[in-house]
Amino acid sequence: MKTASPPARISHERRGSFTTISGRPINELYTPADIASLDYARDLGDPGDFPYTRGIHANGYRGKLWTMRQFAGFGTPEETNRRYKQLLKAGGTGLSVAFDLPTLMGRDPDHELSLGEVGKCGVNVTSLADMETLFNGIDLGGITTSMTINSPASMIFAMYLVVAEKQGVAWESLSGTIQNDILKEFIAQKEYIYPPRQSMRLITDVFVFCAERVPRWNTISISGYHIREAGATAAQELAFTLRDGIEYVQYGVDAGLDVDAFAPRLSFFFNSHSDFFEEIAKYRAARRIWAHVMRDRFKARNPRSWQLRFHTQTAGVSLTAQQPYNNVVRTALQAMAAVLGGTQSLHTNSLDEALALPTEEAATLALRTQQIIAHETGVANLVDPLGGSYFIEKLTSDLEEETLAYFDTIDRMGGMVPAIENGYPQREIAESAYKFQQAVEQRDKIIVGVNAFVTDEEEPIGILYIDETTAERQLANLNRLRQTRDNGRVRAALDALAEGARGSANTMPLLVEAVRAYATIGEMCDALREVWGEYEETPII
Amino acid sequence: MQKIRVIIAKPGLDGHDRGAKVIARALRDAGMEVIYTGLRQTPEQIVSAALQEDADAIGLSILSGAHLHICPRVMELLREKGLNDVLVVVGGIIPDVDIPKLNAIGIKGIFLPGTPMQEIVDFITRNTRSRVGT
Where is pLDDT greater, at A16 or A339? A339
Q: Is A520 exposed, middle or buried (0-12, 13-18, 19+ CB in 10 A)?
A: buried
Sign of the C-alpha dihedral, residues A415, A509, A108, A218? positive
Which residues are paired to A266 by β-bridges? A220
Interface test with A, best of B6, B17, B63, B117 (most A CBs within 10 A): B17
Q: Which residues from B are below 8 Å from A190, CB to CB?
A: 15-17, 39
Where is pLDDT greater, at A538 or A450? A450
Which residues are paired to B50 by β-bridges? none
> pLDDT tens digits for B81-122?
999 999 999 999 998 889 999 999 999 899 999 999 999 999
- CATH fold label, A32-441: TIM Barrel (3.20.20)
Query: What is the rounded (10 degree) CA torsion for B128, B130, B133, B134?
Result: 70
Q: What pLDDT shows up at residue B133?
A: 55
Q: What pLDDT shows up at residue A1?
A: 46
Instruction: Say yes or no to pLDDT of A389 above 80.
Output: yes
Least confident of A49-53, A132-136, B39-43: B39-43
User: Touching check for B45 and chain A: CB below 8 Å?
Assistant: no
Q: What pLDDT shows up at residue B131?
A: 63
* Overall average pLDDT of the A30-43 stretch: 98
Q: What pLDDT shows up at residue B72?
A: 96
Instruction: Say yes or no to pLDDT of A5 above 60.
Output: no
Q: What pLDDT shows up at residue A94?
A: 78
User: Touching check for A228 and chain B: CB below 8 Å?
Assistant: no
Closest CB from B34, B66, B112 relative to A115 = B66
Å between A73 CA and nearest CA of chain B? 14
**Residue ranges in chain B assigned as alpha helix (H):** 18-29, 43-52, 67-80, 99-104, 117-132
Residue-averaged pLDDT of chain A: 94
* Overall average pLDDT of the A517-540 stretch: 95
> What is the distance between the alpha carbons of residues A217 and A230, in angstroms, rounded to a whole number?
29
Global confidence as pTM: 0.94
> What is the distance between the alpha carbons of residues A75 and A100, in angstroms, rounded to a whole number?
8
Q: Three-class SS of residue A68? A: strand
Share of chain A above pLDDT 70, in %: 97
> pLDDT tens digits for A274-313?
999 999 999 999 999 999 999 999 999 999 999 999 999 9
CA atoms in the 13 A half-sphere facing the CB of B82: 1
DSSP assignment letter at A46: S
Q: Which residues from A are below 8 Å from B60, CB to CB?
A: none
Please report, for residues A55, A153, A286, the alpha-carbon distance to residue A60 in angstroms, rounded to integers and kept in the order given.
7, 32, 17
Where is pLDDT greater, at A83 or A274? A274
Q: Which residues from B are below 8 Å from A107, CB to CB?
A: 13
- For A325-329, the CB contacts below 8 A with 24+ separation are A325/A351, A325/A461, A326/A448, A326/A449, A327/A351, A327/A352, A327/A353, A327/A354, A328/A365, A328/A369
User: Touching check for A63 and chain B: CB below 8 Å?
Assistant: no
DSSP assignment letter at A187: I
Instruction: Say yes or no to pLDDT of A342 above 60.
Output: yes
Number of residues assigned to chain B: 134
- Band of residue A457 on the pLDDT scale cut at 50, 70, 90: confident
Q: For residue B37, what is the nearest residue in chain A, using CA coordinates?
A: A539
> Quick check: bond before A51 cis, omega within 30?
yes
Contact B37, A540 (CB under 8 A): no
Where is pLDDT greater, at A120 or A159? A159
Closest CB from A120, A189, A465 relative to B64 = A120
- Band of residue A41 on the pLDDT scale cut at 50, 70, 90: very high
Q: What DSSP string describes A248-271?
A: HHHHHHHTT--HHHHGGGEEEEEE
Q: For residue A108, what is the nearest residue in chain B, using CA coordinates?
A: B13
Å between A148 CA and nearest CA of chain B? 15
ipTM value for the complex: 0.92
* Overall average pLDDT of the A66-91 stretch: 87
Q: Three-class SS of residue B87? A: strand
Q: Three-class SS of residue A223? A: strand
Q: What pLDDT shows up at residue A88?
A: 83
Least confident of A113-122, A441-450, B54-63: A113-122
- Chain B residues 60-99 with CB within 8 Å of chain A: 64-70, 73, 93, 95-96
Which residues are paired to A25 by β-bridges? A19
Contact A356 B38 (CB under 8 A): no
* Overall average pLDDT of the B27-34 stretch: 97
User: Touching check for A13 and chain B: CB below 8 Å?
Assistant: no
Instruction: Say yes or no to pLDDT of A271 above 80.
Output: yes
Where is pLDDT greater, at A501 or B65? A501
What values do phi and psi take at A118, rounded to 5?
Answer: -70, 120
Q: Which domains does chain B have, with CATH numbers?
A: 5-132 (3.40.50.280)
* Overall average pLDDT of the A55-62 stretch: 97
* Overall average pLDDT of the A381-406 stretch: 98
